Structure 1
Amino acid sequence: MFQSIVVAVDGSDAATRGVDAACKLSEAFGGEVHLIHALENKAVDKSDHEKLASGGSGLTSDVIKSAMARAQNAGITPSSATVAEGDAFDEIMMIVNLYSADLVITGRRGLGTFSGMFAGSTSQQIAKHASCAFLSIK
């Protein structure tokens, strides 16, 4: 049923629960897990970009490393782990399309910005536009 599962991670508890759910579904259905962390320009300062570029430990690399370790501790080796720079929705959907995902999982924190009231949260945008199943975990 779920052969290709994309999980968007951002370091939140909800996203961590999303990784856990993806691992259980992967185990149940024999599917691949693809992790993505989207680094939005507006949300991260220059020092984080520099840390990422140099391969050092920083906000973004820690988020993806933590998600990978969590999956591996659950007995699942992610098929891919992507750190992308740009709009979270666009970057997540690019990975969903690249891997022909059957399911996309996001955490839902309910912390949308003021502009999110008009444009919608990333999770809301994915729910509206994804051509595959979508699971939002709180």
Structure 2
Amino acid sequence: MYKNILLATDGSENARRAADEAAGFARILSSHVILVYIIQTPPSQSRMVQANFDVHSLLIEDAKSRINDIITIFEQGDLSYTLKVAIGDPSTEIIGIAEREKTDLIIIGSRGLGTIKGVFLGSVSQKVTYHAKCPVMIVK
């Protein structure tokens, strides 16, 4: 059923609740979870120079510091997961990773923009739901 689950996370409270749902699926269904953390702005030049322009390691470092509590859920539960990071528009990157990884389900937290803001700005969860080729679960 859901063997390969993508959990899009930004470290927020809604993302934490989404992580709990993903962990529950992983535990019951023996699913593999792909934790996805998207950074919208690249690391500073000085950080890139210090890291010998290894941008991927900087992104991993930033993701681990921002979503450490979510990673802990999977490590303490002895659940199968991998961490994927990217730079760019979150909805575009999430959909791209989901397609490349052939995920069966995307789980994402609701941002809670409100009706008026949501109409004008949209939200990552709305965009992912509209464009994804697999089922999407939005967790409030």
Common fold by TM > 0.5: yes
Matches within 5 A, 1:63-102: 63-78=66-81, 80-102=82-104
Unaligned runs of 5+ residues in structure 2 are none
Tell me the distance in 2 between the aligned counterparts of 1:2 and 1:57.
Answer: 26
Tell me the distance in 2 between the aligned counterparts of 1:64 and 1:77.
Answer: 16
Contact 1:40 1:86 in 2 (8 A): yes
Moved over 2 A (4+): 44-47, 49-61, 63-67, 114-119
**How many residue pairs align between the two structures?**
134
2:122 to 104, 120, 123: 120
After TM superposition, give the deviation of residue 95 of structure 1 in Å: 1.3
2:63 to 25, 45, 60: 60
TM-score, with structure 1 as normaliser: 0.80
**What residue is the counterpart of 1:104 in the other structure?**
106
- Quickly say closer, same or farther: Cα 1:77–1:116, change in 2 above 3 A: same
From the CA coordinates, give the structure whose radius of gyration is larger: 2
Unaligned runs of 5+ residues in structure 1 are none
Deviations 1:77-101 (A, max 9, x none): 31x2012100001111111111111
Tell me the distance in 2 between the aligned counterparts of 1:129 and 1:56.
Answer: 25
Tell me the distance in 2 between the aligned counterparts of 1:4 and 1:31.
Answer: 6
Contact 1:38 1:84 in 2 (8 A): yes
Could you tell me the percent identity over the aligned residues?
29
After TM superposition, give the deviation of residue 102 of structure 1 in Å: 0.8
Contact 1:37 1:84 in 2 (8 A): yes
Deviations 1:117-137 (A, max 9, x none): 335101001111111111111
**What residue is the counterpart of 1:40 in the other structure?**
40
Amino acid at match of 2:132: A
